[in-house]
Amino acid sequence: EAEVAQSPRYKITEKSQAVAFWCDPISGHATLYWYRQILGQGPELLVQFQDESVVDDSQLPKDRFSAERLKGVDSTLKIQPAELGDSAMYLCASSSDRGQPQHFGDGTRLSIL
């Protein structure tokens, strides 16, 4: 069964450093999502792509977070500079189209020291 791939699985960095996460969605999936999940809470949408276009980034802290999906396939989420409060699990998901079931990757656990 096809899966969403994410890397790295774990990332430890110091505050004020830059950090980047990568996601490769299920082949053919047009919609890609980045979520942040704080321990003990449900995932919260940061940004949603439809092909290469951002269609929702209302919850993305744009002063420090950026996301891109240049060719409409894989995607990168970046944080610069990282802050202590950014420690969380960052999950990527994809779906064949908007409104279709979303499938998650294993996530990147980020710890900021």
Q: How far is the CB of 84 from other proteins (least distance, A)?
A: 22
Which stretches of the chain bind other proteins, using CB under 8 A? Answer: 4, 40-45, 48, 50, 55-56, 91, 98-99, 101-107
Nearer CB in complex with other proteins: 15/98: 98
Residue type, 28: G
Nearer CB in complex with other proteins: 68/106: 106
Q: How far is the CB of 40 from other proteins (least distance, A)?
A: 7
The DSSP line for 7-24 is E-SEEEE-TT--EEEEEE
Nearer CB in complex with other proteins: 7/102: 102
From CA 47, how far away is CA 40, in angstroms rounded? 21
Structural contact between residues 9 and 110, judged by C-beta atoms closer than 8 angstroms: no
Q: How far is the CB of 29 from other proteins (least distance, A)?
A: 14
Q: How far is the CB of 104 from other proteins (least distance, A)?
A: 4
- The dihedral formed by the CA atoms of 93, 97, 102 and 104, expressed in degrees to the nearest 10: -20
